[in-house]
Amino acid sequence: MDFKVINKYLQEKGRTFVAIRQENPYTVFERVLIGDRLGETDEALIKAVLGQVSTELNPAEGVKKLQEDLHQQAESYEEKLAEKDAKIAEVKAVADWAVLARVTDVDHPLDPTIFKRGLELVDLGQHGKTYQPQEIFTLENPDHIEKFQEGKRVMIQVNQAFTYKGETLEQLEDLDKNGKIGIWKWTEPKEKEAPKTSDELETQPVQ
């Protein structure tokens, strides 16, 4: 069958009128399709109209076609969801790396409120999860008393593959000592020594 689109227009919002015609044998079908489909090709519109006609003439076949379409849509949705999850994981990895780089920069300690906000962006340790080298997670330190709004979280940097089994911060300290992990807490910056005055400078006798 060689059908051609002879008319199409947006009948109302969300509904597209499409008319198709075949010369031999002369056949005309007019149907209203759901959605604004004026941007689609004539081939796609013809297929949609014939599909609707087929469903009307043969309901069983129409149900089968609907099931096939739903299956294809589900597969497409799963693929898009997987792609989205992969992109989120990439963004999170970059964010975690940025937090790791700044928190471990001991020469330039973070402002306490920024430290708190940064560690809030990092996931808390997940029981049973195996972390790979350079991955990070956080733990709450319930015994810590805030002085500068630095929060109660500490960052755990994994140096060797490590499975977190719900250990407390205190229980992880041995692993920190042997280098398997690193525990990073906010520490108050050391005050810089004031430069000595001329009166405080030691003088040496002239030889």
Q: Which of 91, 81, 27, 16 is nearest to 53 (CA)?
A: 27
Total-model pTM: 0.51
Nearest-10 Cα torsion for 120, 122, 127, 130:
-170
159 in Cβ contact with 131 (< 8 Å): no
* Predicted confidence (pLDDT) per residue in 129-183, tens digit: 999 998 999 999 988 988 889 999 999 999 999 999 999 989 999 899 889 999 9
Distance, CA of 150 to CA of 140 (rounded, Å)? 12
Letter for the amino acid at 76?
Answer: S
At 159 the pLDDT is: 92
SS (H, E, C) the chain: CCCEEEEEEEEECCEEEEEEEECCCCEEEEEEEECCCCCCCHHHHHHHHHHHHHHHHCHHHHHHHHHHHHHHHHHHHHHHHHHHHHHHHHHHHHHHHHHHHHHCCCCCCCCHHHHHHHHHCCCECCCCCEECCCCEEEEECCCCCCCCCCCCEEEEEECCCEECCCCCHHHHHHHHHCCCEEEECCCCCCCCCCCCCCCCCCCCCCC
Distance, CA of 83 to CA of 87 (rounded, Å)? 6
* Predicted confidence (pLDDT) per residue in 81-130, tens digit: 888 878 777 777 777 778 877 888 877 878 888 889 889 988 999 999 99
